[in-house]
């Protein structure tokens, strides 16, 4: 067991297993390209160790260069990737082989393909030492794969957790046993977002607010944002399949999280079922769902006040607010039975001093054992 920052990691792949995988990729690439001079493109920072060992195992003429991309992984990220170091060589007519340390969702890969799409290369291939097949949802085939791995967070051999761990010779996996996953329920205005902000600090959790993610997408004019806008503007729920996919994506983006606070999700029984199935497939589960209870008339006043400051269109019109309560009462309230049947439903009085309410929520969480 090793500790990096606040987290513990257990051994996952030995140095010998990694060496074998690197040699396997080198042999496969050599089989295909030994009669020409390919340009290997390492993706910094994570791939530096792989590139180094790969080149030592590749015994034919070749060139090497590097690119560096940065991806923003914030709560509202939709996977915007920026190029920090571009390719400077003349690559026209050449065979390019990307060397990646790890491919998971495929977001970085998409950006890489985009980087090269304007150039007139002879061939463009992708080799990745580690590949999370289950979570990959890109459209490009990975041509050479070292080791397929499940969707756990790994460090070592060039890969980091908040910049530590890159110098480890073996690969380690995050220890997930003490993960806490919470669902915060409550009518619009009940204080879910405010309380999630405190709880995420107290318990080092990742806060996912589906409403925030939608608003971020609307602000940035993404396809998802355009799709969601018409529903949100009316105070209706966004269709389940859109919301469920988005939620999964947010969870996948944070494999190192010590747990999640789901705020505003699930809001329908179909979403709750999808969440259970999804978490189970990742060896995770919901520990507790907590409903913040508050009287509708108080909430209407709170939301109208909030609307003046935030400018949120769905907070400014009493009719839309009432429609959101209606959606809650019809579609979200039945989740009480769903989680009660699992013994995971708790309620907390959501009226009072903010810190006092945080205390009530913390008591429920601390009593989970
Ligand atoms: P919120 O910020 O949580 O109040 O969400 C604002 C709006 O985003 C809601 O009124 C819905 O239109 C949409 N939304 C947020 N979460 C969900 C969800 N789980 N399912 C469907 N629609 C959602």
Mutational test site, ligand 1, from 188, 191, 210, 266, max ligand atoms within 8 Å of CB: 210
In this predicted model, what pLDDT tens digit does every residue of 165-211 receive, in sequence order? 999 999 999 887 678 999 999 999 999 999 999 999 999 899 999 99
Residue 225 — φ and ψ, nearest 5°? -60, -45
Instruction: Give the tokens for residue 220.
Output: 């940035």
| 232 Cβ inside 6 Å of ligand 1 | yes
Distance CA 345, CA 360 (A): 14
Residue nearest to atom 14 of ligand 1 (CA): 211
Distance CA 336, CA 291 (A): 9
- For residue 281, report the distance from its CA to the centre of ligand 1, in Å: 25
Residue nearest to atom 11 of ligand 1 (CA): 237
User: In the 8-state DSSP scheme, what is residue 193?
Assistant: H
CA-based torsion, 162, 257, 128, 121: positive or negative: negative
Mutational test site, ligand 1, from 183, 194, 211, 331, max ligand atoms within 8 Å of CB: 211
Pairing of strands 81-85, 63-71: antiparallel
Distance CA 277, CA 290 (A): 20
- For residue 13, report the distance from its CA to the centre of ligand 1, in Å: 41
| 155 Cβ inside 6 Å of ligand 1 | no
Nearest to 259 by CA among 331, 161, 183, 359: 183
Distance CA 204, CA 214 (A): 23
If you average pLDDT over residues 149-160, what whole number do you get? 91
Residue 301, pLDDT above cutoff 60:
yes
For the chain, what is the radius of gyration of the CA atoms? Answer: 24
| 210 Cβ inside 6 Å of ligand 1 | yes
Residue 72, pLDDT above cutoff 70:
no
Domains of the chain: 2-174 (3.40.50.2020), 180-366 (3.40.50.300)
For 214-253, give one letter per residue: b (16+ CB within 10 A) or e.
bbbbbeeeeebbeebbebbebbebbebeebbebbbbbbbb
Distance CA 366, CA 230 (A): 40
Q: How confident is the model at residue 154 (pLDDT cuts 50, 70, 90)?
A: very high
* Rounded percentage of the chain residues whose pLDDT exceeds 90: 76
Q: Which residues contact 310 (CB under 8 A, 6 or more apart)?
A: none
User: Residue 42 region, left (φ>0) first, then alpha (ψ -120 to 50), else beta?
Assistant: beta
Mutational test site, ligand 1, from 75, 267, 307, max ligand atoms within 8 Å of CB: 267
- For residue 253, report the distance from its CA to the centre of ligand 1, in Å: 20
Which of 54-68, 77-91, 267-281, 343-357 has the least mean pLDDT?
77-91
Mutational test site, ligand 1, from 194, 217, 232, max ligand atoms within 8 Å of CB: 232
If you average pLDDT over residues 265-282, what whole number do you get? 93
Nearest to 274 by CA among 240, 237, 238: 240
The pTM of this model reads: 0.69
Which of 262-266, 306-310, 322-326 has the least mean pLDDT?
306-310
Say what the pLDDT of residue 111 is: 82
Instruction: Give the tokens for residue 329.
Output: 């009462």
């Amino acid at each position: 067991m090793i500790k990096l920052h606040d987290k513990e990691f257990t051994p996952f792949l030995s140095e010998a297993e990694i060496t074998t995988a690197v040699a396997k990729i080198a042999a496969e690439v050599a089989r295909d390209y030994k009669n020409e001079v390919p340009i290997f493109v390492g993706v910094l920072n994570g791939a530096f160790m792989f590139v180094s060992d790969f080149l030592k195992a590749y015994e034919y003429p070749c060139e090497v260069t590097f690119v560096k991309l940065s991806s923003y992984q914030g709560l509202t990220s939709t996977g915007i990737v920026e190029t920090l170091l571009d390719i400077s060589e003349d690559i026209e007519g050449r065979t390019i082989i990307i060397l990646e340390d790890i491919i998971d969702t495929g977001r970085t890969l998409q950006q890489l393909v985009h980087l090269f799409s304007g150039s007139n290369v002879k061939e463009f291939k992708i080799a990745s030492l580690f590949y999370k097949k289950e979570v990959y949802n890109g459209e490009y085939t990975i041509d050479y794969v070292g080791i397929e791995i499940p969707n756990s967070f790994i460090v070592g051999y060039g890969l980091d957790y908040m910049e530590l761990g890159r110098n480890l010779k073996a690969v380690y996996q995050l220890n997930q046993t003490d993960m806490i996953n919470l669902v915060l329920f409550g009518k619009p205005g009940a204080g879910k977002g405010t309380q999630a902000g405190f709880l995420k600090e107290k318990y080092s959790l990742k806060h996912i607010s589906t409403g925030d993610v939608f608003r971020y997408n609307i602000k940035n004019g993404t396809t998802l944002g355009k799709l969601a806008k018409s529903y949100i503007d009316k105070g209706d729920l966004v269709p389940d399949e859109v919301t469920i996919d988005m939620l999964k994506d947010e969870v996948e983006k944070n494999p190192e999280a010590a747990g999640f606070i789901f705020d505003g999700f699930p809001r329908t029984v179909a979403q709750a079922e999808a969440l259970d199935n999804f978490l189970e497939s990742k060896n995770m589960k919901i520990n507790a769902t907590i409903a913040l209870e508050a009287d509708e008339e108080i909430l209407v006043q709170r939301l109208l006040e909030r609307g003046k400051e935030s400018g949120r269109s769905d907070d400014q019109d009493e009719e839309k607010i009432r429609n959101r309560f209606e959606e809650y009462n019809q579609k979200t309230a039945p989740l009480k039975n769903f989680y009660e049947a699992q013994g995971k439903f708790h309620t907390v009085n959501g009226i009072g001093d903010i810190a006092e309410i945080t205390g009530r929520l913390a008591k429920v969480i601390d009593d989970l054992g």
